[in-house]
Amino acid sequence: MEQKSNSFLETESTGTLMRKYAIPCIISLLVAALYNIVDQIFIANADYLGSYGNAANTVVYPLTVVALAIAVMIGDGCCAFVSISLGAKENEKAHRSIGNAVVLVIIAGILLTAIYFVFQNPILTAFGGKVNEGTYLNSKEYFTWISAGIPFYMFGQAMNPIIRSDGSPKFAMASTLLGAVINIILDPIFIFLFKWGMMGAAVATVLGQVVTAIMSVWYLFHTKAVKLTRNSFALRGSLIKRFIPLGICSFLAQISLVAAMLAIQNMIVKHGGDIVNYGTDDVPVESLTQIPMAVVGIVMKFFQIVISIVIGMAAGCIPIVGYNVGAGRKDRVRELFTKLLVSEAIVGLVALIIVEFFPNQLINIFGAKKESDYYRNFAVASFRTYLCMMIFACVNKATFIYLQSLGKALTSTLLSMIREVVFGVGFALLLPVLFGLKGVLYSMPLSDVLTFIISVIVIIRTYRELNKPSEGSDILRESD
């Protein structure tokens, strides 16, 4: 069977290609983000769950990101490698890398699920689940059912970028969209009608993830630019060593978020009593300690929406950049970089306007009208402070991912580590010592400002390199 060529990636206008690939990718990531966000919205508006259920969702959220981190490392790395291979007319490497990625993500999903079930209690405790008894019980119920769906979730998320690299961004979007729609339909049924509580939210999520995984399996039998055979699935260390490093940036971007949230959630447990400074009602502090955990989780959900757009725009460019890198077209790679940076800055500006001027409207979506003044006041302060450097955050993230698509895995990885681990975790641990609960809110904007300074230097160097005349695909040779 003759396979379809991806040569149009070298000839079609970069603006058209960016829209064609980025929009489905953005929608796919937004839809994937909606799983947890929709859960939290319905949980927050259920009278019998409220802020305790919200806090529990926040506790479990980073543990789903661990699964996502592993999945995107495999999927994005394979996507970049497949795109570069197709641009260099090396179809053999392309189909074998996809087969190896499939096997790896299945193994990883099963292992992570086993770890979550065996070490459930210490894991929940580490992420702040024992801030109070109500939060812990809800966290345990939610985490148990979410863990059961981890293999399906990881498989669907890993296959999504691979499907895009095969020239089918719309199918990648549709598979994720259908799963999310199922979750949205089932959430209110299970939570409000059946009164299944946290279990209902989790089961709705898992059923949606199963559907996405099934659609991804179907696509593997109907690929376009490559043809998979039984031999494609034989693990080859030499290939894995080539594509996994290209996904390390995606892994670190996600796993470092987990590290930052681990630090933040533990600082919230330690300094949560400071919530008494955000209200005047005479309320026992013990009944308020889950509020900072719930609120920070909500703020992170909005950030996740914005960053899904940012990552979607950048990740959607990976197949285009990779193909043109393989074909030696630096001019198109440079042109796309400029368009991406401008677009990402605009996204950050719009997000900044929303969080600064409409925080009350945002928190009302998550049931704030039913909560105390302590909840509402802290939520408004959190949105306005924690996300005040959104423009810088968006440009930083775009730079990391674009470097990854150029095959510059080391530079991309180092930048991600500086932002997410050195700054993100470091300031999350240090600033609360100096400023208490407010220090948690200061950690993110400070990290983004310092990282932006470094990103500007890297951006300038990248432009200089792309402006130099090249002999063939020198970027590709560098990535090797």
Give CA–CA dist 324/313, Å, rounded. Answer: 17
* Count of positions (residues) in the chain: 480
Nearest to 36 by CA among 152, 153, 155, 192: 153
What mean pLDDT is predicted for residues 237-264?
Answer: 84
Exposed (0-12), middle (13-18) or buried (19+): which is 305, by Cβ within 10 Å? middle
What pLDDT, on the 0 to 100 scale, is given for residue 473? 45
Q: 289 pLDDT exceeds 90?
A: no
pLDDT tens column, 7-53: 777 778 888 888 888 887 788 778 777 777 888 889 988 888 878 89
Cβ count within 10 A of residue 3: 16
What pLDDT, on the 0 to 100 scale, is given for residue 470? 58
What mean pLDDT is predicted for residues 262-284?
Answer: 85
Q: 331 pLDDT exceeds 80?
A: yes
- Encode the chain in three state secondary structure: CCCCCCCHHHHCCHHHHHHHHHHHHHHHHHHHHHHHHHHHHHHHCCCCCHHHHHHHHHHHHHHHHHHHHHHHHHHHHHHHHHHHHHHCCCHHHHHHHHHHHHHHHHHHHHHHHHHHHHCHHHHHHHCCHHHCHHHHHHHHHHHHHHHHCHHHHHHHHHHHHHHHHCCCHHHHHHHHHHHHHHHHHHHHHHHHHCCCHHHHHHHHHHHHHHHHHHHHHHHHCCCCCCCCCHHHHCCCHHHHHHHHHHHHHHHHHHHHHHHHHHHHHHHHHHHHHHHHHHCCCCCCHHHCCHHHHHHHHHHHHHHHHHHHHHHHHHHHCHHHHHHHHHCCCHHHHHHHHHHHHHHHHHHHHHHHHHHHHCHHHHHHHCCHHHCCHHHHHHHHHHHHHHCCCHHHHHHHHHHHHHHHHCCCHHHHHHHHHHHHHHHHHHHHHHHHHHHCHHHHHHHHHHHHHHHHHHHHHHHHHHHHHHHCCCCCCHHHHHHC
Q: 185 pLDDT exceeds 70?
A: yes
pLDDT tens column, 379-424: 999 999 999 999 999 999 999 888 877 878 788 878 888 988 899 8
Q: 233 pLDDT exceeds 70?
A: yes
What mean pLDDT is predicted for residues 223-250?
Answer: 86
What pLDDT, on the 0 to 100 scale, is given for residue 204? 95
Tokens for 409, please give them. 């895995």
What pLDDT, on the 0 to 100 scale, is given for residue 5? 57
Q: State the pLDDT confidence band at 471, using cuts at 50, 70 and 90.
A: low
Q: 283 pLDDT exceeds 90?
A: no
Return the residue matching tokens 């308020």.
Answer: 288
Percent pLDDT > 70 in the chain is 95
Q: 256 pLDDT exceeds 80?
A: no
pLDDT tens column, 130-180: 888 889 999 999 999 999 999 999 999 999 889 987 888 889 888 988 998
What pLDDT, on the 0 to 100 scale, is given for residue 132? 85
Nearest to 307 by CA among 106, 29, 75, 116: 29
What pLDDT, on the 0 to 100 scale, is given for residue 477? 41
What mean pLDDT is predicted for residues 323-347?
Answer: 89
What mean pLDDT is predicted for residues 52-71?
Answer: 92
Cα distances (angstroms) measured from residue 135 to each of 63, 89, 293:
16, 54, 10
What pLDDT, on the 0 to 100 scale, is given for residue 1? 38
Q: 372 pLDDT exceeds 90?
A: no
What pLDDT, on the 0 to 100 scale, is given for residue 401? 85
What pLDDT, on the 0 to 100 scale, is given for residue 6? 66
